Amino acid sequence: MARPHENPSPDAAAPRVRRTGHPVGGTVPAITGAAAPGVVPGRSRGGSGGGAGAVARSRGIPPTDARNRRISDALEAWFAREARDLPWRRGRTAWSALVAELMLQQTQVSRVVPAFDRFMARFPAPADLARADDETLLTHWAGLGYYRRARLLRAAAAHIDAVCGGTVPRDASALRRLPGVGRYTAGAIASIVFGAREAIVDGNVTRVLARLEARRERADDDAGVRWTWARAESLVRASASPGVFNEALMELGATVCTRAQPACTACPLRRECRAAGLEDAGAPASIPPPKPAAVRRPLHIDAVAVIERGRILLERRPESGLWAGLWQMPARESAKAGGHDALLRWTRDHLPGWRPAAAPLHAFPHATTHRAVVIRVWRGERQATGSGRDRVSSDRVWQRLTVLDERPMSSAHRRAIEHAVALLPAGTRRDRGSA
């Protein structure tokens, strides 16, 4: 189930389960007649609908209601056979669907799978999440990134609890009044959970529909977005089960009609796909045109590992900006790489009684949506005079290495700590009692 700006390719290998129907949206009706799924009656199996006819069809000829029904029937039948067995598809409720949709925004399915059940066990109802503090919330969101979504989900839970009587709204317009819920998420919940005839558009849907109609124009400008929503609406109107169709459309983009290497021979829509009939090299993989590559701003982080008696000094990041409110080792950040002298000056102000070792223990890159991050990990050395151990507060703590999971951290800073602990002398890591 891909989401806007999600890279679905790592999920193509997720397990599939054979089903007779969809667990919530109802069963998928059988396709009548002798034609196999995706095959237009009366069309030879030997061809792919290509050649001059496909090119002519791609020149603005509107799709017919009959073609829309063929597409939706074939896709719903395919999904009944090939849907991946994902945890949010089992015993789905409106609340679990809302949680899954927020988790899946800009996040790969493979990262959401291990987090979903853990989150739902801790927050089985909106009221449970509405009462959670930041530390508890972010700890259970760990590994998903984009932590602002977690706070938006909590705000949505609070609205549901206070305004909606603890029940997730059924219709798309009411859903869109929830914090963090836009047109796509509202349509997904309303259609998949409640069977409403609402369209959805995410990155996977955009790609599938552009190829289906061989549309070479940009998909991410205003005209492209309007066209994609209109095309999705025309198809969901023709579907037997809107929820099944919408989820199938996303599933197709995530597992078959992928960005770089679409598996056209396995596609249930190959007979209807106009891009598949084009004769120029690169089609349909070249459709839609790729977005310009994002320019990531450089960010250099020098993290100082202050470890004593089996404890590590951690500090909390500011409540806004990158990795807001998460924990990390004390760190200097800069747009330009700094040397040891710059870090030494920084530690005099921020870590009195400590200094960085002469050379870093480890360095590694980390990419976020907007930043190209390089993290260097330095061992903190105690100086002869002064002490940094007493400078603790609500935003700076000594944390036992054995219970680091109690503190929510970004994956990058958790990795930095893992390198620091692995490379320090064993005596430094041993817990010798209270600090």
pLDDT bucket at 64, cuts 50 / 70 / 90: confident
Secondary structure in 3-state letters for 138-196: HHHHCCCCCCHHHHHHHHHHHHHHHHCCCCCCCCHHHHCCCCCCCHHHHHHHHHHHHCC
**pLDDT for residue 435:** 38
* Active site (annotated) includes residue 101: yes
Q: What is the mean pLDDT of the chain?
A: 84
**pLDDT for residue 386:** 54
Structure tokens at 430: 């041993």
d(CA 253, CA 291): 17
Domain boundaries, the chain: 9-266, 297-429
> Is 1 a residue whose pLDDT tops 60?
no
**pLDDT for residue 280:** 76
pTM of the model: 0.76
**Highest mean pLDDT (candidates 6-20, 180-194, 283-297):** 180-194
Q: What is the mean pLDDT of residues 167-173?
A: 97
How wide is the angle at C-alpha 347 spanned by C-alphas 145 and 363, nearest 5°?
50
Enter the CATH code of domain 297-429.
Answer: 3.90.79.10
Per residue in 338-347, pLDDT (tens digit) is: 999 999 999 9
CATH 1.20.120.1200 at 9-266, yes or no = no
DSSP 401: G
Handedness of CA 93, 101, 75, 213 (dihedral sign): positive
| Percent of the chain surpassing pLDDT 90 | 68
pLDDT bucket at 52, cuts 50 / 70 / 90: very low
Angle at which helix 134-141 crosses helix 109-122, to 10 degrees, equals 140
Q: Tell me what percent of the chain is helix, strand and coil, each rounded to the nearest 5.
A: 40, 15, 45
Per residue in 132-143, pLDDT (tens digit) is: 999 999 999 988
Please write down the long-range contacts of 387-392, taking CB distance under 8 Å and 24 or more positions apart: 387/352, 387/353, 388/306, 388/313, 388/351, 388/352, 388/353, 388/354, 389/308, 389/313, 389/353, 389/435, 391/352
DSSP 369: S
**pLDDT for residue 429:** 53
Task: Say which of 76, 82, 101, 247 is annotated catalytic.
Answer: 101
Q: What is the mean pLDDT of residues 363-385?
A: 91
DSSP three-state, residue 313: strand
Q: What is the mean pLDDT of residues 75-101?
A: 97
| Percent of the chain surpassing pLDDT 70 | 81
- Do domains 9-266 and 297-429 share one topology? The answer is no
Give the pairing of strands 21-22 and 26-27.
antiparallel
DSSP three-state, residue 51: helix
Q: How many CB atoms are closer than 10 A to CB 359? A: 9
**pLDDT for residue 40:** 32
DSSP 74: H
Largest interatomic CA distance in the chain: 88
d(CA 433, CA 261): 56
DSSP 16: B
